[in-house]
Amino acid sequence: MQTDIPLKRLTALRAADLLPLIGAPNATLIAVESLELPASARRLDSVLRLRSPNGQEYLHVIEWQGYHDPGVLWRLAGYLAWLGQREPDVAVVGTVVYLVLAADVGGEISPPRDGVPSLGWRLPVVRLWELEAEAALAAGTLGLVVLSPLMRGASAALVQRAVDTVLAQASLIQQADLLSILGVFAEPLLARETFVRMVGKEKLMASDLLSYLMEEKLAEIEQQRASERAEIEQQRASERAEIEQQRASERAEIEQQRIAELAKALQEAAEDVIVVRFPNTPVGLVHNLQTITDPAQLKALRTAALTAPDQATVEQLLAALKP
């Protein structure tokens, strides 16, 4: 269920309807603002500029949360801090609205230090599933009506009544978008095709929100495909590395075998030289040549045996090889 864009649009369309939800039923909505955060391509949407019953102007940030994110409270605290620096003379408050139980990470920032909770910052939170869907529908406030499928006691029949309420009360300019938003939140209760038949495709097609949702869906698909391509490439790279490692191991084994064969031939050649030149050399000393596997050393021993002036010199060389 893609909720980001529908909730931003809902806030822009029916912000005044949401004031009871965030604990400001008597405030007056001045504006809904979308602010670009510093050093970031992201924007801070759903910033309500309100006026209290006593006439004080202040900012109220709504942070809609539809998935589990342990950092949501820190994120809202960061937004409030940034707004406070931006407008230090204006009071700033915020509310986290949890759409589903799985998204709920509480309302207090108190990370433990050495096992002891620290900070103890509390932020206002609203849990939609704790609110009564029937009460929201009965109030007839369209901003809450479209959120009613996420509330306690919601049903397919209630969605039909919510559709009727939107059709009866919303202006023609807002109808299509509000119905589209309602359809997004009604997905757990009835199939998209059923909702489309219930509302009528023509009404939904008039919504700009559909194009935004389509763009978001296409971006999600492209991101998924990019992730799959990266995974396939990583797997191929791993397979190539494994094949190369296997080939390197085979080459090393072949080279080791070649060196062993060369050493064996040089051992025999050195023995032949010694036996031919000095046939009385003790067999045990001659066998010491078999302890040498370095071809370069064996070549040097063969040359030494060829140029040795007497048997004693050869025996001395062979004795030095004794392990």
3-class DSSP state of 187: coil
Residues ≥6 apart with Cβ < 8 Å to 100? 66, 128, 129, 150
Quick: pLDDT tens for 42-59.
Answer: 788 899 999 999 999 999
Confidence at residue 210, expressed as pLDDT on a 0 to 100 scale? 58
Confidence at residue 211, expressed as pLDDT on a 0 to 100 scale? 59
Confidence at residue 209, expressed as pLDDT on a 0 to 100 scale? 61
92-101, 228-237, 254-263, 306-315: which is most confident: 92-101
Residues ≥6 apart with Cβ < 8 Å to 92? 58, 59, 60, 61, 80, 83, 84
* Full DSSP string of 241-256: HHHHHHHHHHHHHHHH
Task: Of 212, 33, 3, 14, give the one whose Cα is nearest residue 97.
Answer: 3
Quick: pLDDT tens for 70-107.
Answer: 999 999 999 999 999 999 999 999 999 999 999 999 99
Calculate what percentage of the chain has a pLDDT beyond 90.
43
In the predicted model, what is the mean pLDDT of residues 213-217?
59
Confidence at residue 21, expressed as pLDDT on a 0 to 100 scale? 92
Residue 108 backbone phi and psi in degrees, to 5: -125, 135
Q: How confident is the model at residue 111 (pLDDT cuts 50, 70, 90)?
A: confident
Is the predicted pLDDT of residue 1 greater than 70, yes or no? no
Bigger pLDDT: 4 or 276? 276
3-class DSSP state of 88: coil
Confidence at residue 152, expressed as pLDDT on a 0 to 100 scale? 96
Residues ≥6 apart with Cβ < 8 Å to 190? 156, 159, 198
Task: Of 296, 284, 269, give the one whose Cα is nearest residue 321.
Answer: 284
Q: How confident is the model at residue 173 (pLDDT cuts 50, 70, 90)?
A: confident
Confidence at residue 2, expressed as pLDDT on a 0 to 100 scale? 66
The average confidence (pLDDT) of the chain is: 87
Give the domain ranges of the chain. Answer: 4-208, 225-319
In the predicted model, what is the mean pLDDT of residues 227-256?
89
Confidence at residue 311, expressed as pLDDT on a 0 to 100 scale? 87
Q: How confident is the model at residue 39 (pLDDT cuts 50, 70, 90)?
A: low
Is the predicted pLDDT of residue 201 greater than 60, yes or no? yes
Confidence at residue 133, expressed as pLDDT on a 0 to 100 scale? 96
Is the predicted pLDDT of residue 213 greater than 60, yes or no? no
Q: How confident is the model at residue 222 (pLDDT cuts 50, 70, 90)?
A: confident
Is the predicted pLDDT of residue 10 greater than 60, yes or no? yes
CA distance 92 to 88: 9
Quick: pLDDT tens for 296-317.
Answer: 888 888 898 888 899 888 888 8
In the predicted model, what is the mean pLDDT of residues 117-125?
84
In the predicted model, what is the mean pLDDT of residues 261-267?
87
Is the predicted pLDDT of residue 41 greater than 60, yes or no? no
Give the tokens for residue 248.
């390197």
